[in-house]
Each structure stands twice: as C-alpha cells, then as structure tokens.
C-alpha cells in the first residue's frame, strides 16, 4: 500500500510541476515515435518543388502553389481549409546581363534584386566604385560615386544560427537608395551568401520616395572577388548592365490556412506557419518548401491521432513573405479581433533543420512550463534557449500585438549557401534532418495545444 | 685515403645506376626548394583568368589570351617565342533557354553543348523520353523517340583519377547523332558532372554527315533529377527549348610556344604543354588555366637557373583543345619533320593538382631510368605509376607517331564538380596544390632534359 501511495503522490507531484497531463505526455511519446519514422515532411516538399517549382509571389507558380496547398490540406482532412486574399505587388525578373567591358571584357554572374527597376533600353555602361560596406558607401564623397555603379563588397560570415546575415543584408535592402543619394547609376551588391560557388543570390530591395530608382543586382562571390582583383590592377573598370525587370502592378495571392479544431478550447489558436511563396530561380526547397513540409507534416501527425488537442492548431502558409512579409501583415490585420486568442505562434523558415534549440517569448511565469516542454523535445536533441525570439519572419509581426511566440532554431550552417539561388532545390534537403524538424514541430504543436500555462503578457524590448 | 676511395667508388656506382649526373641532381634539389616556395604558377593563372577570363577558341577572349601568353613568354625571357597558326571553327553560344511547359511548368538550368546547332526561331517544344544511358537510347525503338527530346540521364561517378568521365562523356559526343538517328527533335543530356550543384556542364559534341543536326544541351544534375521525378508522376513531360547557337565559320587561332634552348642537345625537345583555350562560361581556371600556370612556372623556375639544360625545353600552349584537339593536331602536322627529336612530351590538363603519380609510355629498357626520375619526385609525394599513359589530351596525338610521353597524374577528385561550368573560377585553385604541381613539372622537365636514357621505341597497344 505504501509504495502505491508514494507512487501516486509522486505522480501527483510530477503533475503539479508540469503543465501537461499524463494523457498529453503519453500521446506526445507516440507522436514522437510516429514522426521519427515518417517521411511525410520530405514528401510534401518533394511534391511542392516538383509539381509547382518556383512560386514567386504573383506569378503563375504562386497561383499553382496556392491551389496545390488547398488541395493537399483538404485531402489531409484539415478543418476549415480556406484561402485568405492578400493584395501584393507583382514584380517579374525578365532578362538580366552584366559584363565587364573595359579593360578586361568578360561576363559576370548576376541576378536582379527583387523589386529592382530595369535599365533603360540598351542598358547602362559605367565605371564601378567599390565599397567594403554599406556604411562606407554612405560615408563616401558623392563626387566619387556620381554616374558610377556602386559596388558593395561585404562578405557574409558563416554561423550555425545565421547571425552573419543581419549585418550584410542591410546593404541589399538599402544599398540602392544609399547609392542613388550619391548619384550612382546602379548598385552591384556582393551576394549575401556563404557559398563558394558562382551563384548570385537574389532577395528583396526597397526604394524610397524622393530618391531616384536605380537598378540593383547581386553578383556572385567569385565575381565580386574578380572585380576586386581587376580594381587592384586598374581603378577604371567599366561594367555594362542590362535588366529587364517588370512591374506588373498589384495582384492577389492568398494565405492558405487549415486547422485541427480544438476539443475543449477551440477558440484558442496554436499557430504553426511557413511561407508558401519562393524566389523564382530555384524551386524554393530550403526556402521555404522545407518549412511548408515541416508544419504540414506536424499537423498531419497530430491529425492521425484519435484524440483532438484542447486548443485549435492552425497551419498558416503565408503569401508573399519574400517580397516584404505581405501575407504576414495581411494575416495580422485580418485576424486582429482574435489575436488575443492566439496562444502561441511559430514559423519554420530557415531550411530543413535539424532543430537544436527551443526559444520563446512568453511571460516569465511560464518559463518553467517552457522548460517542461523542452524536456519533451530533449530526446530529439533540442536544448532550451532564450526568451527573446521573434518566432520567424512572418510571425514576428505578432508579438508587438501581444502574441507569445516560439522559435525552433534550425541548424543553418549551410542555409546561406543556397538561399535565394537557382541552387535551392530538393536535393539540398537531408531527409533525416527534415524528419527531425517535423517531429519537433509535432511535439511543440501538440504540447502547446494542451498546455496548462498562461503565456501572457509577453516581455517586449523597451524602445 | 681508403675512405675517400670508397666514397668515389660509391659515387661512381650511384652514377652508373642513375641517368642523372651529380650536377643535374644538385640542380634538381635547388629547383625543388625554389619551386616549393614560389607562387609563380598561381600568379600566372590569376593573371590569365582575371585579365583575359573566358577564352573560347575563336572568340575575342581567345585572341586576347594568345596576346597575353606571347607577352608573358617574352617578358620571362623564353627563347624563340612564337605563334603557330591553327585554323579552327568558331562556334558561339548565344541565348539558351529551356523550360518544362507541361504539366509542371518551370525553368531548367541548361547549357548548349559546344558545336550544337540552334533551334528554329521560336524554339521547339516536345515531349521528353528518358534513357539511363547512351546504349539504352541506341537500343530504343525509333517509335519511342521520334519527334521527342531524348533525355540521357547517365550519372557520372567520382574518382580521384577521373575514370568516371570516359563511360559518360561518350553520350555528350555521340548522343545527338544517336538521338537523331531515331528521329529525335533534340538531346537533353544529364551534365557530365560529379557536382551536387545546379550547374550545367558544357563540352564538345559532334555531328556526322548524313544524320540530321539536332540541338543538344546539357542540363544540371538537380534538373535531371527533377525531370526524373516528374516522369514518375506523368510520362508526358513537355519541354520547350530555345537555342541561338551561332556557327561563325573558320577563323585562326594560335599555338603559343616558348623555349629554353638546350645547351648540348638543343635539337632534342622536352615538351611540356597545356591548353590556352577554355570554355566560355567560366574563366577556365582549373581547365586549363592551372595547366598554363604549371608549365609556365616550371619553365620559369628552370630559366632562373644559371645553367641551361642539355635538351631544349619547349612550352606549348595549345589552341582549341576544347573543341577537338585542333591545336594538338596542327602542332603534330606542323612539326612532323622533327617529331623524331621529341624526347618526351607531357601535358597538364586536369586541374591544379596535387600530382600523386608519375606514369609513362617509354621503352621498357628505360624503366629503371624512369624509376630514378620518380625517386626525385618522391619527396613531393609522387609515386611511380604505369607505362601506358597517353600523356594528356593534346600530347596524346604524338605516341602514334613514336613520341614518348609521360603523365603526371593529378588528384581530380573535385575536378568534375567545376569542369566546363561558369563555376570554374580562380577561387577553386588551392595555391599549395598548384605549387606542388608546378614543382613536379619543374623537376620532370629538368630531369628529362638532362637524362641519359633512350626512351624509344615506345610500346603501343596492338590493334
Ligand atoms: Zn524564407
Ligand atoms: Zn527567403
Ligand atoms: Zn582541358
Ligand atoms: Zn575541358
């Protein structure tokens, strides 16, 4: 009797220390086993990248991706599958060519940055002027820049967590404006890339009102090095640039949404997301077909249980992330009345994994509960991280409105080798990595949808 | 006295066992030290790839490469620097585009094979039919192929010695003819490549009289896998192909030659060569800027000695290797009267090294001398190989006319990752690898130019 009593007391004490019921944990264990022997996530990316391929927001591929996602969600048996319209700009790349004309004529491997204007008919030909960083360009004497192609040669550093991206990508977004302010004719950006290969990496750039719109392209790392070698021999290197970028005005894309309706608290939402759009030159396998596969498979694994979670699990495949989080902002605005019922949100948008760390942005009182959740992820190799995440690009617009978020940090060591290039294709995804990531998202969604813990109000950085 | 006598006796006995004088060996030692602390070879490739870049036979880049080589040879102080004219066809790539149109529309990464015809204005659009190998295409029922794009999906295997190339490259040379014989509209070749990246690898293809000339392109490995995945879903995959390949007729290029005139047997030639032309999409760094750097630096190191070698060392930078060994055949024909005085020939055309093995094709009586030579290379990590080499592509036309050849085998593990792609750029060359290769060529040329050994007549395979 005594040992039975003790066991019950321990069980009860364990229950008190955890936000999860024994039943929830028991299902978590079978979900973990199921997910770690499932190829579902890989199959989803394989289907999307093969049958749809590139899906730049606004393109035919984008429309096909939306239809693909809706059909798949319906076939899987999600509840309340729907398309939520998003008004987006439709930019198209067209023809692009760049070559050194003097004194060492040869072609360059380039790609237009997303949103760039084209060149006038016949292209532009101008000397180049090199800057090590955006800051150096901003500090330059306009007389040095006027009429030239400003060449920003900032090399990205490789890290597991991708933190080399932030300091360099600023030049992609703002470089053309900074160059135009000095009178430049165009921008040549060293690709935001860790790759040793000759791919140019695209990505969105921005103009601002009142500053001339000049064409902006990325050149591959080897080409940036080549230009630098040329400049060491001769300060007068002339480049000809022809871009045919087309602005097709506004069109409509869609956030694609499917749900597993909660059993006892259906109005409360655990949101797991990824973005459905991609850049146009690769097939968007790592960015963000992998995320689509991970969150779709995670919800699919839970759907296969006989039991429904307490809260609703909502899968959101965002539109038009690449061209400025447009689907994310549309979701936020369309759902403003129910954001208070969003229990937590997380997005997978950093490749295929594996996931190595669980970050959060929740109330400090909930940190023990988050540790309890991480302990369920620990068998998959996931450690506890910090409480300062923004949860992924599309869900990062939610914490300012009070929504708790989680970040399931993926190993991104190689992510920027492929990011936004033609080389972002299915073969770059390791099946065992995406399987683990999908398993982590499965457990995360299941446990969050059943957790007994108050995650609000969330801490926010002080302005 | 006795010990001096013994030392002399030993020295004399050593001399008898070796084809090299003590003076030759002493210079070999200082050459080895000098070469292994020199960046000359890398500097040569850096100069060629930066200042000239791509140099497709017949192009402006080719003409600039010839001028570059002549100027460099003259500046280095080579004897008898000269250009020997070679009549070549001038093919130009132009625009190329391919895309799946049905049922999964998306672009493919392709490159025209060298010598391919273009498509009719507006391109061709046809279903594809897949074959695992050229042999499978050759065995196919013409009804299966007629009017379609024949897709040969033969994957190359990776080996240090590049032996995966031969079995696969046949489809590049002969695939279009085999396909046209079955009535195909065009050829889609899986790139002859070991790369995991999305580059298409060009290379020369051939037509034959009496068979329709159909356009022939290589597609990247990831694109070949993508087509195969599509075919698993739907046997009717339609591809549109647009090629603008241009045949500019005949023009003149040049074999560039420089020498170190021999001291005592100047009429005897030790030929070290590489090819100066390259494909047009990369800068021809590994293929064959590295070879140009290796043989140029090797001769340069010897030129820096106060002493001249016994035989003449001739550096030949061949024209138009890529489009069919045209410079090699021109050299053979122009020098037919002196081929009997060619002591030995070797070509560096397999990347930057390092060199790991010394192969030969010499008379069996000379094998001990070759082993003695290899012992001088052993400190650089070079082992003795076989006696069946052809010496490299351009010098392979010489053994049928009795000329002994040597092959200094380079580690080509990664060579076919870059071969004939835009990604063949300077950054792929490891300075320490090309330094070692240049040191090996330095010793090889010096020792051959001073060897006391008869290398003829050479063994040839029986027909
Ligand atoms: Zn993304
Ligand atoms: Zn992206
Ligand atoms: Zn070659
Ligand atoms: Zn080649």
Please judge whether B225 and A427 are an interchain contact, meaning their C-beta atoms are less than 8 angstroms apart.
Answer: yes
Contact across the interface for A52 and B104, Cβ inside 8 Å: yes
Domain A94-244 classified CATH 1.10.3720.10? Answer: no
C-alpha Rg value of chain B to the nearest Å? 24
Question: What's the gap in Å between A162 CA and the centre of ligand 1?
Answer: 13
Cα–Cα distance between A393 and B85 in angstroms, integer?
A: 61
Structure confidence at residue B18 as a pLDDT band (50, 70, 90) = confident
Taking a 5 Å cut-off on Cβ, the residues next to ion ligand 4 are B 287, 322
Using a CB-CB cut-off of 8 Å, the residues of chain B touching A107 are: 54, 281
Distance of CA B300 to the CA centre of its chain: 21
pLDDT digits (tens, 9 = 90+) for B330-354: 999 999 999 999 999 999 999 999 9
From the CA of A282, the nearest ligand is: 2
Q: Is residue A196 within 8 angstroms of chain B, CB to CB?
A: yes
Two structure tokens written together for A141: 């004497």
**DSSP label of B309:** P
| Stretch(es) of chain A classified as CATH 3.40.630.10 | 20-90+250-450
Residue B127: pLDDT over 80: yes
What pLDDT score was predicted for residue B462? Answer: 80
3-state helix, strand, coil in chain B (%, to 5): 40, 25, 35
- As a whole number of angstroms, the distance between CA B340 and CA A337 comes to 92
- What's residue B442's pLDDT? 98
The verdict on a CB contact (< 8 Å) between A61 and B105 is yes
Ligand 3 midpoint to CA B288 (Å):
5
Give the pLDDT confidence score for residue B286 in this predicted structure.
Answer: 98
Spatial separation of the C-alpha atoms in residues B197 and B72, rounded to whole Å: 35
Q: pLDDT tier at B17 (50, 70, 90 boundaries)?
A: low
- Ligand 2 geometric centre to CA of A321 (Å): 7
Ranges of residues in chain A whose predicted pLDDT is under 50: 1-16
- Answer whether A105 sits within 8 Å of B61, measured CB to CB: yes
Task: For residue A424, give the ligand nearest its CA.
Answer: 2
Report d(CA B148, CA B293) in Å as an integer. 44
Residue B16 pLDDT > 50:
no
Partners of A51 on chain B (C-beta within 8 Å) are 104, 233
**What residue in A sits closest to B109 (Cα-Cα)?**
A422
CA quadruple A445, A450, A454, A455: dihedral, nearest 10: 0
Which residues in chain B touch residue A105, judged by CB atoms under 8 angstroms apart?
A: 53, 60-61
Determine contact, residues B156/B164, Cβ cutoff 8 Å.
Answer: yes
Q: Is the pLDDT of residue B14 over 50?
A: no
> Tens digit of pLDDT for each residue in A416-447?
999 999 999 999 999 999 999 999 999 999 99
Cis bond leading into A103, ω under 30°?
Answer: yes
The catalytic residues of B are 321
The answer to whether A393 faces chain B, any CB pair under 8 Å, is no
Instruction: Return the residue of A nearest to B284 by Cα.
Output: A106
CA B375 – CA B380 distance, rounded (Å) = 10
Mean pLDDT of B230-249: 96
Inter-chain residue contact A426 with B225, CB threshold 8 Å = yes
- Which active-site residues of A does the annotation give? 321
> How far apart are alpha carbons B6 and B295 in whole angstroms?
41
pLDDT of residue A17: 62
Burial category of B170 from C-beta neighbours within 10 Å (exposed 0-12, middle 13-18, buried 19 and up): middle
Instruction: Dump strand ranges (E) for B319-365.
Output: 342-347, 355-361
Judge contact between A137 and A175, C-beta under 8 A: yes
Q: Express each pLDDT in B291-334 by its tens digit.
A: 999 999 999 999 999 999 999 999 999 999 999 999 999 999 99
What number of other Cβ atoms are within 10 A of residue A461's Cβ? Answer: 6
The residues of chain A that CATH labels 3.50.30.30 are 94-244
Q: Phi-psi bin for B420: left (phi > 0), alpha (psi -120 to 50), beta?
A: left
Query: What value does the mean pLDDT of chain B take?
Result: 95
Q: Check if B88 contacts A (Cβ < 8 Å).
A: no
- Residue B421 CB: number of other CB atoms within 10 A? 28
CA dist., res. A275 & res. A292, Å (int): 7
Q: What are the chain A neighbours of B289 within 8 Å (beta carbons)?
A: none
- Report residue B110: phi and psi, to 5°: -130, 170
Residues of chain B contacting residue A60, judged by C-beta atoms under 8 Å apart: 105
Torsion of CA A408, A413, A419, A422, to 10 degrees: -130
**Subunit contact A233:B109, Cβ cutoff 8 A:** no
CA atoms within 13 A on the CB side of A358: 26
Q: Domain A20-90+250-450: which topology? A: Aminopeptidase (3.40.630)
pLDDT tens readout for residues B166-211 = 999 999 999 999 999 999 999 999 999 999 999 999 999 999 999 9
Whole-number Å distance between alpha carbons of B303 and B318: 21
Instruction: Please tell me the number of the ligand nearest to residue B420's CA.
Output: 4
Cα angle: A266, vertex A271, A273; to 5 degrees: 145
Q: How far apart are alpha carbons A350 and A288 in whole angstroms?
A: 7
A50, B283: Cβ pair inside 8 Å? no
With an 8 Å Cβ cutoff, is A354 touching chain B? no
3-state secondary structure of B139: coil
Cα–Cα dist B132/B151, whole Å: 8
CB A404 within 8 A of CB A263: no
Instruction: State which H helix or E strand residue B128 sits in.
Output: strand B124-131
Q: What is the CA angle A42-A45-A50, rounded to 5?
A: 125
Q: Which of A105, A107, A282 is nearest residue B60 as measured by Cβ atoms?
A: A105
Count of CA atoms in the C-beta half-sphere (13 A) of A219: 27
Complex confidence, ipTM: 0.93
pLDDT digits (tens, 9 = 90+) for A68-100: 999 999 999 999 999 999 999 999 999 999 999
CA–CA distance, B442 with B61 (Å, rounded to integer): 28
Say yes or no: B284 contacts chain A, CB-CB below 8 A. Answer: no
| CATH class of the domain comprising B20-91+250-450 | alpha beta
Q: Is B53 on the interface with A (CB under 8 A)?
A: yes
């Amino acid at each position: 009797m005594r040992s039975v009593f003790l066991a019950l007391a321990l069980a009860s004490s364990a229950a008190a220390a955890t936000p999860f019921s024994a039943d929830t944990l028991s299902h978590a264990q079978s979900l973990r086993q199921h997910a770690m022997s499932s190829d579902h996530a890989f199959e989803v990316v394989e289907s999307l990248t093969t049958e749809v391929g590139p899906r730049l927001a606004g393109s035919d591929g984008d429309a096909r991706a939306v239809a693909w996602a809706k059909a798949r969600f319906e076939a899987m048996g999600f509840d309340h599958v729907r398309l939520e319209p998003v008004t987006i700009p439709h930019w198209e790349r067209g023809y692009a060519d760049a070559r050194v004309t003097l004194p060492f004529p040869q072609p360059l491997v380039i790609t237009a940055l997303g949103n760039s204007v084209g060149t006038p008919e016949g292209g532009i030909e101008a000397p180049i002027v090199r800057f090590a960083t955006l800051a150096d360009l901003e500090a330059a004497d306009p007389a040095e820049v006027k009429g030239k192609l400003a060449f920003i040669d900032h090399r990205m550093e490789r890290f597991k967590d991708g933190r080399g991206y932030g300091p360099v990508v600023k030049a992609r977004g703002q470089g053309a404006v900074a160059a135009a302010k000095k009178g430049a004719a165009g921008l040549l950006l060293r690709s935001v890339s860790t790759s040793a290969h000759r791919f140019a990496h695209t990505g969105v750039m921005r103009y601002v009102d009142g500053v001339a719109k000049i064409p902006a392209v990325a050149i591959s790392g080897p080409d940036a090095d080549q230009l630098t070698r040329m400049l060491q021999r001769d300060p007068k290197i002339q480049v000809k640039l022809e871009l045919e970028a087309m602005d097709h005005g506004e069109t409509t894309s869609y956030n694609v949404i499917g749900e597993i309706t909660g059993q006892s608290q259906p109005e409360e939402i655990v949101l797991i997301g990824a973005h459905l759009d991609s850049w146009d030159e690769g097939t968007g396998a790592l960015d963000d077909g992998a995320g689509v596969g991970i969150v779709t498979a995670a919800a699919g694994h839970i759907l296969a249980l006989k039991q429904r979670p307490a809260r609703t699990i909502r899968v959101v495949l965002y539109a038009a992330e690449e061209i400025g989080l447009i689907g994310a902002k549309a979701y936020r605005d369309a759902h403003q009345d129910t954001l208070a019922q969003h229990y937590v949100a997380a997005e997978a948008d950093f490749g295929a994994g594996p996931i190595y760390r669980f970050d959060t942005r929740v109330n400090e009182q909930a940190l023990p509960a988050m540790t309890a959740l991480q302990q369920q992820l620990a068998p998959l190799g996931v450690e506890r991280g910090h409480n300062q995440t923004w949860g992924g690009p599309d869900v990062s617009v939610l914490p300012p409105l009070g929504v708790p978020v989680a970040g399931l940090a993926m190993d991104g060591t190689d992510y920027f080798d492929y990011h936004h290039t033609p080389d972002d294709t299915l073969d770059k995804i390791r099946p065992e990595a995406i399987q683990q990531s999908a398993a982590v998202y499965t457990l995360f969604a299941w446990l969050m949808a059943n957790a007994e813990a108050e995650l609000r109000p969330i801490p926010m950085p002080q302005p």
